Homo-oligomer: A and B are copies of this chain.
Amino acid sequence: MTDQKNFSTDIDRRALISAAAASPFIFQPGAALANSGAMAAIRKAVEMQLPASIARIQDWVRNASIAAENSRMEEGAAYMMALARDAGFSQVARIATDGHPGVVGVMDNGADRWVGIYFMYDVKQFDAAEWSSPPLEARIVDRAGFGKAIMGRGATNQKGPEATFLAGLHAMREAGVKPPVNIALICEGEEEIGSPHFRQVALHPSIRPYLEKCLGVVIPAGWQNPNGAVTINLGSKGIIELELIASGEKWGRGPEKDIHSSLKAQVDSPVWRLVEALSTLTKDGGNTPAIEGWFEKVRPLTKRERELIALSARATNEADRKKALGVKRWIDDLSWEKSLERLAAQPTVNIEGLVAGYTGPGGKTVLPARAVAKLDFRLVPDMTVADSLEKLKRHLASKGFPDVEVNMSGGYDPTETAEGSAVIRAQQAVYDRAGVANTLYPRNAGSWPGVVFTGEPLKLPAGQFGLGHGGGAHAPDEYYVIESTNPKVAGLADATMGYVDFLYEMATISI
């Protein structure tokens, strides 16, 4: 999903200007790593291995697997397995699912604690014509304000950060240091299509027993904004992605194939049927879901969640955010803080795409036999995919549209992780010591399949963690910074040390 995007990226540019003369970012480790006696050796190995680490990201970007296009998925899984073995994981296995395969691996370092690491090996589709550098060449380019970056599909979502985590494992091995925790690695190839079969991977007997031992799970992420700050999400909205399809075939009215538009006077139109069905789903200009019972399970924001949002509102710049998005007003002309509350609290019905009949230049006088609306629904706690999907179908039937097909392609329930859990506190500790401003945010409006970890039966804390910076996820010119000229943003070496420190923090944090 587009959904692992940090929305505070690209803000606070003004703060950068005054800091431009400062010294480059240098990672500051925590006590556990500092006291381990291994830090200098690891840092040296990280720096020695930098060319190999960069090449690892580039080569992985060049080997793209696109689940949405069913493109090179077996190759992607095999590549992922090789990466895992290469980084020192054992019991590396391809996990068959009803969709594309997952990959798992185990690294038992004889430590007391286990940490789970979640990877995705698929990437989003792309249109090469929209890119300034070919999306599968992984060229190194200069990004103003950041430094050298790898540009390519998957560079930041999610191969760059993931490979940076692997670079930490390589460096520890090179330095002769056993990682201070055991690691359960779990990877899927369907993240960009809504993780429809990821539960089958997570609950597979070859990885479930190890996940059950974990203190928590993280996905590596490079979400420092230009000011160096990061947001720590305590959860994410859930999502349903589906198509609504109106067709003459299913309806039993209208044509079975496109016919001449003059026949509209004699023949019903599946496109108008779709428009009518859509118009029952929302009110207030599309801003409020109008599906029967949609708000029944919606839990209001808590006092603490509002506090966190207020803090976040003050720490971020509304004008910069509006500019970055190309937006002049928030819904209902809300204030910045109220719009952030709405962003966290409101379930949504979004139209991602509409397609029917002739879509090229000019017109073509046809009466289309079929019309499709591509929708995504964002769910807040305590909504669930199963309940929401059932409500949507009931709503369509009760409004007189039982023939409008609901073709769900992916989705998952909302995710929540406790503020006091070890993975959250460990993140705060690493960021704090590294001098990285970090803000807790109650709920990312985007989505990721963390509920597979946080929900039944595993019930593990789960989130995103990482230093570094990238941009353009799901968009043209996606990039991931490897050599930072920004004194507040980690480059590849510092981000690698961040992952190492995180493992040390997880090994020693109070639980």
Contact = CB atoms under 8 A, between A and B. Distances in A.
B275 A362 contact: no
B264 A378 contact: yes
A356 B350 CA distance: 12
Contacts of A409: 362-363
Interface in A182-239: 193-194, 237, 239
B265 A378 contact: yes
Interface residues on A, range: 35 or more
Interface in A230-259: 237, 239, 241-243, 248, 252-257, 259
A278 B274 CA distance: 11
A36 interface: no
Interface in A82-106: none
Nearest to A243: B363
Contacts of A353: 356-359, 363-364, 366, 368
A68 interface: yes
B374 A358 contact: yes
A331 B266 contact: yes
A241 B363 contact: yes
Contacts of A355: 354-356, 359
A272 B363 CA distance: 22
Nearest to A280: B279
A446 B260 CA distance: 8
A267 B325 contact: yes
A150 interface: no
Given A286-B269, A366-B352, A259 B325 contact: yes
Nearest to A193: B362
Contact of A256 (B69, B326, B366): B326
A48 interface: no
A123 interface: no
Interface stretch (A15-23, A140-148, A335-343, A503-511): A335-343
Contact of A275 (B7, B278, B358, B368): B278
Contacts of A330: 266-267
B352 A266 contact: no
Contacts of A363: 193-194, 241-243, 352-353, 374, 376, 409-410
A158 interface: no
B365 A269 contact: no
A255 B286 contact: no
A276 B280 CA distance: 10
A7 B349 CA distance: 41
A325 B258 CA distance: 9
A327 interface: yes
A352 B365 contact: yes
Interface string A354-390: 1111111111111111010010101000000000000
A285 interface: yes
Contacts of A359: 353-355, 359, 374
Contact of A364 (B7, B286, B352): B352
A304 to B, nearest CB: 20
A261 interface: yes
A125 interface: yes
A365 B3 contact: yes
Interface string A291-330: 0000000000000000000000000000000000111111
A422 interface: no
A445 interface: yes
A325 to B, nearest CB: 5
Contact of A255 (B1, B327, B342, B368): B327
A128 to B, nearest CB: 14
A3 B364 CA distance: 10
Contacts of A287: 268-269, 272
A2 B260 contact: yes
Listed from nearest, the 7 A-B pairs whose CB atoms lie closest are: A272-B286, A256-B326, A353-B357, A262-B445, A355-B359, A264-B348, A353-B358
Given A262-B444, A353-B364, 17 more contacts: A2-B365, A69-B361, A193-B362, A255-B326, A257-B326, A260-B474, A265-B343, A265-B344, A267-B327, A272-B282, A272-B285, A273-B285, A355-B355, A362-B409, A363-B374, A363-B409, A365-B474
18 contacts: A7-B263, A68-B364, A253-B329, A265-B344, A265-B345, A266-B331, A268-B285, A268-B287, A268-B331, A271-B351, A326-B369, A352-B367, A353-B358, A353-B359, A353-B366, A355-B355, A359-B374, A363-B376
Interface of A: 1-3, 5, 7, 68-69, 124-125, 193-194, 237, 239, 241-243, 248, 252-257, 259-269, 271-276, 278-279, 282, 285-287, 325-331, 339-340, 342-369, 371, 374, 376, 378, 409-410, 444-447, 474
